[in-house]
A and B are shown apart, each in its own frame.
Chain A
Amino acid sequence: MDIIESFRTAFSALLRNKVRSALTMLGIIIGVSSVILLISLGAGLQKSITAQFEKLGTGTLYVVPGKFGEGGGLAGGSGMSTNKFKFSDADRIKREINNISAVTPGIESITSVEYRGGKRKGVIFLAIDSSFFAIGDYNVKQGRFFTENENKNAKRVVIVGQTIVEKLMGGVNPLNKQISVRGKKYKIIGVLEKQGSIVGQDQDNMVILPAETANRQIGFDRPTWILVKASSNEIIPTVKKDIEKLLLNRLTDDDFTVLTQEESLNIAEQILGIVRVVFVGIAAISLVVGGIGISNIMFVSVTERTREIGLRKAVGAAPGDIFIQFLIEAVTLSFAGGAIGLLLASIGTLAARLFMPAVVTPFAVILAISFSVAVGIIFGVVPALRASKLEPIEALRYE
């Protein structure tokens, strides 16, 4: 039989029961959209996490408070309550560890910032000494970084990100203006170049204070991380061991973790992996449920159309023709579900682009199409076989 004709028949049969078809497709829609979202968001997330680490260059080690996995945060932001670090730890590392090119401690937190009665919450707060500028990939667009002297003397200066200038200050020239951080005023001496956002966090919504200033004005005296740069990649394991040995003189094993960049990426991967498992679970369950729904509806359809099948056979349809007709119907149903799922996931991905470089890849599209077609075939075969095996005479007599 003419395949085009089979598609025509399938379409008109499905359009005849629009609500039923739509409900049947729901499982496939959810399944396919979760698969696509998983892939595109996962890729986006990975890209931005990798980007975040790469910004600090290879050969970087992260010393973070707490035993990892027991309250220690990935970037050291959490774990404040158990944080036993001191700035002097960074000095000791700098003095006593060989084969390192830079050490910089920092405090990372979230704060609110005020300017002339306006207030901005959820601003990234970074307190560092001037050595950070040599490691971190930050550049000023306007003004300058603070000097080590300004840090030592706890000068009340601040460097701000673009979002602070644009959203809080209304785009005025920010240099030498005063903004309030945690109730105290600081003079803006520099504005960072635009960073974009990483993992949904606007990196331009940021203020950077000298660490000593943060200590004296706010009482922040414990770094939430210490970055150490090894002089070469090969030496990283040795440096890691040396730092651990050094810190164990003063701290216990539970108080800190030294992570290499690779390990940090692995941890990020693990977190992504959990997200992935959840999504794959949802996708798999919905695809199976969707497939069962299709099977079910196809059985109903075969029963409803028993006389039609009998007649088609009487006028010359071979079992294979009937089989193909019903299989095409099942596949059309699941394919349409897949297409709608793809559309929804694309909209979701577009929305996600506000936060991360998510993109619907051709691979994801091919996967969605093949998944939905496969579900249609797998779950359509049995009903189609039943239809094809109906005896023409029984089918014609069927009331």
Chain B
Amino acid sequence: MSILPRSSSTHFSMHHLTHLQRLEAESIHVMREVVAETENPVMLYSIGKDSSVMLHLARKAFHPAPLPFPLLHVDTTWKFREMYAMRDQVAREPGIELRVYRNPEAIELGINPFTHGSAVHTDVWKTQGLRRALDEFGFDAAFGGARRDEEKSRAKERIFSFRTAQHHWDPKNQRPELWNLYNARKHRGESFRVFPLSNWTELDVWQYIHLENIPIVSLYLAAERPVVERDGALIVVDDDRMPLAAGERPQLRRVRFRTLGCYPLTGAVESDADTLPAVIREMLLARTSERQGRLIDQDSASSMEKKKQEGYF
């Protein structure tokens, strides 16, 4: 090993970085690489906890400059009302450019989870919607808040995940990704999905939100909410578009969410955790994964991989 430098750093006592500091630095490094190496990046903003962390990290990465890319919300019109309120609030903050995209085809066909089922709803609003949005705006790199600990096929994905001009992911033929040297080269029309939070776990995300005081929607905290049971999942009736069976009456139950999506497709969990520390404590005791509450993932055993290949996040 080389000789120690004679400079001041010889007298320097070791600073131990915490696990979260390392994760934070890695995520910021990824974001800066994208900005340096791609032409037209965008950050997908879904209003969930991971998006909130990602946005917080992006602000740090480019401070004191404003974000060098816009945020994009691929809307399905079926999110929780509180999510829309939060999104609109973020959009009003200085230095933030937020675009909302609703797939015109889905609007025209009136796609919704009740008439068309979760698979069609997700495909047309989210998968097709995202592809069309990226094409229309000509984005060549899109940040997403997905983490490898979420799901088996995510655990296989690169941080810089290459997509063909048709937005396909080829899981059997991913580019090698060594050290922190990311290859962002591509031909016209091809693009990258980039996952700065790849190495974060659900617990890391909650700890970081707690430590950094990051605003999140209160749906993550327990409260009395009107709930109906569908296929074993607790669905919060967020507005009057939810068709109820004859005699079915929403019941008030103390619930919260571990993950957020379209309200008719997102299962709540019974919980008393109404503060962040309580949420973290509950996480430590949790016996099920956060994705369990997502109805869309249960359509088939390898549904996530298939959706991803087709261009879903």
A binds B: no
